[in-house]
Amino acid sequence: MTSPSVTTPPVFRFAPSPNGELHLGHALSALAAYDAAQKARGRFLLRIEDIDVTRCREEYVEQIFEDLRWLGLAWEMPLLRQSQHFDVYAKAASWLENIGLLYPCFATRTEIAEAAARQPSGFDPDGAPLYPGLHKKMAGAEAWARRQRSEPFALRLDMDRALAAAAGLLNGAALTFTEFDEAGEGTIVAARPERWVDAIIVRKDVPASYHLAVTIDDARQGVTHVTRGMDLFAATDLHRLLQVLLGLPEPKYRHHRLITDAEGRKLAKSAHDTSIRSLREAGLSPSDIRALVQRI
Ligand code: GLU
């Protein structure tokens, strides 16, 4: 007798940062991921992305739970809070550093901005001036001495080396990702991580970065479908590169449209009038929010 085949359900997630109130853009992200999970009979996870320990606040975490429960969402427990897993990110970073793909950068923001202004070479997809290479070629002895003196430093990805390493690991195949649409159909997109130049993989203030933590956590939580806003579309290029370098599986991606304000700007967490909480307090119901995010 053959045993019945066991299929693992797809895993979706919503991964907010508790550094402000959730707004309509988050409602769209959360509902898109949740609805897709329901439709696919998949699992739905909530992950709290709170590595930015100075900007994230406990009251916003509570507010996230309250807003999402009110919207009718339920998620698996226990949930993952990134601030409790810095050791995991640090371990992955030191592995990347040991194989020569990260280098320390001691430069301050001002030094970087001044150097970039002297030799402008464009901007990364987030609009920041491309890193002008300042400390890329610093001699090992100097870097070591500065580290011994506990000078703060970030760890940056040596993009040239990282691309070469990835090309080897991919055996000549192109670096791509699959973007799925509402119907679940996938389109192959070419990833261009080089446009991030030497992205910061470990920040100066915390032993992780958004890019590193999100890549590792999507993998270790078995996320198969990443649903998030279009503002993170270009970040996926870097996440795919890190997945290849760290030997992590590749999820599918869906980047949904962004909800903008009357001036066409992305909603800000500080804009209280579009926060889920204030709309609830103004008398809107969860189905009003659903209708609103579908309409705008
Ligand atoms: N934590 C990120 C944010 O709140 C989203 C991360 C993601 O969905 O990949 O903007």
Burial 247-278 (b: 16+ CB within 10 A, else e): ebeebbbbbbeebeeeeeeebebebeebbbee
pLDDT at 2 over 60: no
Q: How many residues does the chain have?
A: 296
Q: Report CA(98)–ligand 1 centroid distance (Å).
A: 28
Q: What is the pLDDT of residues 117-126, one digit of tens each?
A: 998 889 999 9
Give how far the C-alpha of residue 202 lies from the chain's centroid of Cα atoms, to the nearest Å. 13
Res 7 pLDDT > 90? no
Ligand 1 atom with the smallest distance to the CA of 214 is 9
- Give the binding-site residues of ligand 1, using a 6 Å CB cut-off: 15-17, 49, 214, 228, 232
Q: Which residue has the higher pLDDT, 6 or 13?
A: 13
> How many beta carbons lie within 10 A of that of residue 76, not counting itself?
13
Q: Which long-range contacts (CB under 8 A, 24 or more apart) does 228-234 make?
A: 228/15, 228/29, 228/253, 228/254, 228/255, 228/256, 229/25, 229/28, 229/29, 229/255, 229/256, 229/257, 229/258, 230/255, 230/256, 230/257, 230/258, 231/258, 231/266, 234/125, 234/126, 234/195, 234/196
For residues 280-285, give the mean pLDDT: 96
Single out the residue of 187, 215, 190, 188 nearest to residue 201, CA to CA. Answer: 215
User: What pLDDT was estimated at residue 4?
Assistant: 61
CA of 216 to the centre of ligand 1 (A): 13
Query: What is the pTM (predicted TM-score) of this model?
Result: 0.95
At 118 the pLDDT is 94
Distance CA 216, CA 211 (A): 9
In the chain, the DSSP E strands lie at 11-14, 43-48, 80-81, 102-105, 154-157, 176-180, 186-190, 200-202, 225-229, 252-256
In this predicted structure, what is the pLDDT of residue 3?
Answer: 57
Distance 227 CA to ligand 1 centre (A): 10
Query: Which has the closest alpha carbon to 14: 177, 281, 217, 243?
Result: 217
pLDDT band at 274 (very low <50, low <70, confident <90, very high): confident
Cα–ligand 1 centroid distance for 144 (angstroms): 34
| pLDDT score for 217 | 98
Atom in ligand 1 nearest the alpha carbon of residue 13: 8
- 81-90, 157-166, 259-268: range with lowest mean pLDDT: 259-268
- In tens, the pLDDT along 190-241 reads 999 999 999 999 999 999 999 999 999 999 999 999 999 999 999 999 999 9
Q: What tens digit of pLDDT does each residue of 170-184 get? A: 998 999 999 999 888
Which ligand 1 atom sits nearest the alpha carbon of residue 228?
A: 8
| Choice from 14, 17, 233 to test ligand 1 binding pocket (greatest atom count within 8 A of CB) | 17
Average pLDDT rounded to a whole number, residues 61-79: 98
Whole-number Å distance between alpha carbons of 225 and 172: 25
Would you tell me how many other CB atoms lie within 10 Å of the CB of residue 61? 16
Residue 36 in contact with residue 29, Cβ under 8 Å? Answer: no
Percent of the chain with pLDDT over 90: 89
**pLDDT interval class at 270 (50, 70, 90):** low
**172 CA distance to ligand 1 middle (Å):** 31
Residue 215 CA, ligand 1 centroid: distance in Å: 11
**What DSSP designation does 34 have?**
H
Pick the atom of ligand 1 nearest to 227's CA.
8
Rounded Cα distance, 153 and 103, in Å: 10
**Which residue has the CA at smallest separation from atom 6 of ligand 1?**
15
Give residue 226's Cα distance to chain centre: 10
Give CA–CA dist 78/47, Å, rounded: 10
pLDDT tens per residue, range 103-144: 999 999 999 999 999 988 899 999 999 999 999 999 999 999
Nearest C-alpha neighbor of 67 from the set 97, 89, 34, 96? 34
What is the token pair recorded at 83? 């601030």
> For strand 11-14 and strand 225-229, is the pairing parallel, antiparallel, or unpaired?
parallel
* Atom in ligand 1 nearest the alpha carbon of residue 235: 9
Residues 61-76, mean pLDDT to the nearest whole number: 98
Burial of 85 (0-12, 13-18, 19+ CB in 10 A): middle
Q: Exposed, middle or buried, 96 (CB in 10 Å: 0-12/13-18/19+)?
A: buried
Q: Which of 215, 228, 240, 269 for mutating ligand 1's site (highest number of atoms within 8 Å of CB)?
A: 228
Give the pairing of strands 225-229 and 252-256. parallel
Closest approach atom of ligand 1 to CA 17: 4
